[in-house]
Amino acid sequence: MLTLRTPQDARNQFDREGRSISGWARENGFSPAMVYAVLAGKKACKRGMAHRIAVLLGIKEGVIDGEGTTPSSGQ
């Protein structure tokens, strides 16, 4: 079973890696504002882009277009 992160854990991972959230968002084709909204808990993350972001960040278990659940803040 996948160990989920909290949004704060995801933020801390960016800090440990010396990466910006905005940079990660752009590298993965997301709006930085949407990523910040997901991390702030302002999105339900039930479907669409918010769902994809949450799964990739490891704060939600789920499937992305049949890809499975491989969360990573450093893709």
The angle subtended at Cα 48 by Cα 20 and Cα 12, nearest 5°, is 25
Tell me the pLDDT band of 5, cut-offs 50, 70 and 90.
very high
pLDDT of 73 over the 70 cut: no
Nearest 5°: phi and psi at 47? -160, 170
Q: pTM (2 decimals)?
A: 0.82
Mean pLDDT of 16-43: 97
Sorted by where each begins, the domain ranges of the chain are 7-57
For residue 3, what is the DSSP state?
Answer: P
Token digits of residue 17: 């890696």
Mean pLDDT of 29-38: 97
